[in-house]
Amino acid sequence: MTNIISIQSTVLNDLVGNQAARYMLSSKQYNFYEIPTIVLTSHKAHKNSIQLNSKSLNPWLIYNHLKRTYSLRSKDFTIIGYTPNLLSAKAVKKIIHKQKKILLDPVMGDVGVGLYINKEVANFFKTIISQVSYISANFFEWSYLNDKSTDSYSLNILLKDLKKFSKKNKTTVFVRSVPYEKKILNILCKGNQVWGITTPYINFKTRFHGAGDLSTALFAHHIIQKEPLKKVLENVTKEIYSFLLTNSRGPKNKIIFKAKSLSNL
């Protein structure tokens, strides 16, 4: 079976970080290896969340022990997500230099919320995005990485930035949740090839945490399956939308998602 290494937050009682990745991937015939960047009883949005690990938790040390224990290889697919501080960031950077297939989810903030991690860590992500094979970022995160404001970042400029970055760094980029014509637009770019797909807004009972982590895990799966770019976007969107609908208060209408080419915009 294919190995997947997941380096994210480990949150014991919420479907985020490593828990989200394990939930989505364990049933799909992968060997799943988890490296925590932080250990929490629940998502930090809950005021009674407790951090269980010491501040000296070292993902680099855990990574090296796992490699020796389970014979992990440099070509094993690796997901990197929430990074709480510069100590973890330095460890993550070492791992990036060792692993050849990195999917980076630069967890740092969201539209309507702003930046919710240390600014030094957010800026650290800017230094490593050119060193990974795949990126999965929401609209706020991609805007921040490109020094753009979400209030004035037009679709045309965003697409130009995506193609330029992807071609220069040979990176496949998935940008999630771009506000577009009262809907949500997901974009997947590889070089000059760009696909987009829209979904309706979902009316959640309460703010839903973990949608990005779940989407990133699904993105990893469909990449590993070597599906065409268009099919990757359609399958990830269909599966995450179906999952999220179960947590919404709105109608559960079935929608057929078809991606459209944005290459010429």
- Per residue in 156-174, pLDDT (tens digit) is 999 999 999 999 999 999 9
How far is the C-alpha of 208 from the C-alpha of 162, rounded, in Å?
A: 27
- Kindly list the structural domains of the chain, giving each domain's residue range(s) and its CATH number in brackets, ordered by start: 2-261 (3.40.1190.20)
Task: Report the pLDDT value the prediction gives residue 195, as an integer from 0 to 100.
Answer: 98
Task: Report the pLDDT value the prediction gives residue 254, as an integer from 0 to 100.
Answer: 72
Which one-letter DSSP state was computed for residue 203?
-
- Per residue in 182-235, pLDDT (tens digit) is 999 999 999 999 999 999 887 666 556 678 999 999 999 999 999 999 999 999
181: left (phi over 0), alpha (psi -120 to 50) or beta: left
- Per residue in 97-148, pLDDT (tens digit) is 999 999 999 999 999 889 999 999 999 999 999 999 999 999 999 999 999 9
Say if residues 259 and 214 touch (Cβ distance below 8 Å).
no
Separation in Å, CA 158 to CA 126, 128, 150, 263: 17, 20, 10, 12
Nearest to 54 by CA among 32, 84, 80, 12: 84
